[in-house]
């Protein structure tokens, strides 16, 4: 019966902590309303990706005494909206732009001022000035102040190609033939696994997907840990903690707070993770997140949460304000930022020495392992994954044990914050 009563009290405290956190305006906006808006906007994502931008129409004046650039520019300007996609450097979307420009050749340089005036009142879309100097002809492109970056890119690349055409023509070479020779060949890169299976290689996604998993886990765990830290300090400084301890034991209060904030972290993980998966599904890229990756996230989430939460709540119980807590929590936060700092080298070589060593360094181990398991070129050895889970679980038990002893002593302490040596004495105290 006593055990049942303790379970009921822990459940009541957990629900109280969960409710008082999720019903705050900040949490509702950041973890419920914002992801909800993002989720509602996902059906519009394909429309936004495939949408056309404002058309590029009007006149382009070219001041060129040789009258060669204007003719070449007429050839290089996009003839169809689809051609503008290739004009985007590093483009990742399929947006198109209608282009309908009239190229006007102006052999008289004295008209430059008049054309600049037309550029100011937007009756001219662009002014190109070709001049000669000791190093050869120089090219200047002038655009109106309201010109969009997309339009500017189209004009720049078309003009660059036009100048190249003129240079090749003067060298008595065939531009089309040289373009074909210099064109970048398409390479089908496939990764061969040890069992002989092949899969398409996408280096960008292989870097970004593990980072997405790690940042999602880190955000949920650290946010809920901060809620736990601040709520513990507030309850202690306002003497609410003393009222609670008149009805429950310190261990019951600690367990209730940990379980309640675990629910908060779970809500954040589900909301933002769901939005991410829905977004990938909307653009037909859901295959970049296989089911084993999601299962590993479920495995490492509780290990990451209880590691961080036990540190936060024990330190929150030992101090009286947030500034005092920051000085004590600094070393742990330094270790927790290791995955953020080293995620690129870890993903580049998930089975390398650096990644393997960091997998066994608490409290960063869960975040490093989710990086390795979701971004490995080759499968992470199962022995390492299981050993890392054992080390993380042992760390959770050790931190919870030490945190419970600190919480038991510090929860009713007031005044000067304890030093690290005093915290050790609290942990050793019987």
Would you kindly state where each structural domain of the chain is located, as residue ranges?
A: 2-42+203-428, 55-177
Mention every residue, 6+ apart, whose C-beta is less than 8 A from residue 93.
49
pLDDT of residue 415: 66
pLDDT of residue 181: 77
Tally of CB atoms within 10 A around 315 = 26
Rg value, the chain, Cα: 31
Strand-pair partners of 104 = 61
C-alpha to C-alpha distance for 58 and 123, rounded to whole angstroms: 8
Q: Provide DSSP, 337-355.
A: THHHHHHHHHHHSTTSHHH
C-alpha to C-alpha distance for 314 and 295, rounded to whole angstroms: 30
Return the DSSP state at 28.
I
Q: Which 3 state secondary structure label does DSSP give 101? A: strand
End-to-end Cα, the chain, rounded Å? 27
- The tens digit of pLDDT for each residue in 8-63 reads 888 888 898 898 888 888 888 888 888 888 878 777 766 655 556 778 888 898 88
* Whole-model pTM over 0.75: no
Q: Which 3 state secondary structure label does DSSP give 79? A: coil
How many H helices and E strands in the chain? Answer: 18, 6
- The tens digit of pLDDT for each residue in 391-403 reads 999 988 888 888 8
The pLDDT mean for the chain works out to 82
Mention every residue, 6+ apart, whose C-beta is less than 8 A from residue 109.
63, 65, 129, 131
Q: Which 3 state secondary structure label does DSSP give 396? A: helix
The residue among 50 and 336 whose pLDDT is bigger is 336
CATH value of 55-177 in 3.30.70.1400, 3.40.190.10, 3.30.1490.20, 1.10.10.10: 3.40.190.10
């Amino acid at each position: 019966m006593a055990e049942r009563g303790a379970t009921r009290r822990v459940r009541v405290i957990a629900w109280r902590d969960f409710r008082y956190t999720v019903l705050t305006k900040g949490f509702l906006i950041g973890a419920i309303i914002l992801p909800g808006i993002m989720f509602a906007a996902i059906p519009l994502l394909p429309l936004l990706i495939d949408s056309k931008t404002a058309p590029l129409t009007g006149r382009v004046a070219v001041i060129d005494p040789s009258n060669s650039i204007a003719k070449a520019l007429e050839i290089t300007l996009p003839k169809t909206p689809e051609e503008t996609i290739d004009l985007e450097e590093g483009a990742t979307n399929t947006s198109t732009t209608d282009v309908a420009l009239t190229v006007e050749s102006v052999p008289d340089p004295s008209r430059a001022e008049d054309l600049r005036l037309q550029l100011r009142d937007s009756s001219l879309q662009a002014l190109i000035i070709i001049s000669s100097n000791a190093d050869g002809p120089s090219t200047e492109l002038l655009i109106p102040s309201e010109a969009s970056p997309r339009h500017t890119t189209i004009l720049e690349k078309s003009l660059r190609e036009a100048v190249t055409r003129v240079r090749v023509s003067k060298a008595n070479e065939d531009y089309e033939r040289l373009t074909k020779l210099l064109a970048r060949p398409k390479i089908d890169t496939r990764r061969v696994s040890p069992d002989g299976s092949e899969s398409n290689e996408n280096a960008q996604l292989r870097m970004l997907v593990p980072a997405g998993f790690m940042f999602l886990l880190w955000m949920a765990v650290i946010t809920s840990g901060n809620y736990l830290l601040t709520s513990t300090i507030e309850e202690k400084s306002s003497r609410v903690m003393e009222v609670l301890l008149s009805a429950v034991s310190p261990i019951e209060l600690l367990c209730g707070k940990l379980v309640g904030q675990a629910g908060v972290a779970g809500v954040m993980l589900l909301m933002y993770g769901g939005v991410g998966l829905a977004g990938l599904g909307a653009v037909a890229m859901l295959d970049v997140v296989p089911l084993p990756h999601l299962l590993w996230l479920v495995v490492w989430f509780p290990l990451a949460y209880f590691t961080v939460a036990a540190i936060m709540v024990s330190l929150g119980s030992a101090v009286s304000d947030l500034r005092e807590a920051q000085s004590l929590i600094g070393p742990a936060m330094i270790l927790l930022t290791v995955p953020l700092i080293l995620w690129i080298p870890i993903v580049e070589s998930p089975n390398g020495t650096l990644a393997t060593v960091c997998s066994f360094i608490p409290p960063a181990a869960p975040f490093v392992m989710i990086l390795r398991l979701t971004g490995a070129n080759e499968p992470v050895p199962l022995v390492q994954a299981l050993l890392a889970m054992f080390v993380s679980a042992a760390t959770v038990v050790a931190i919870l044990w030490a945190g419970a002893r600190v919480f038991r002593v510090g929860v009713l302490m007031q005044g000067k914050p304890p030093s690290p040596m005093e915290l050790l004495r609290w942990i050793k105290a019987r």
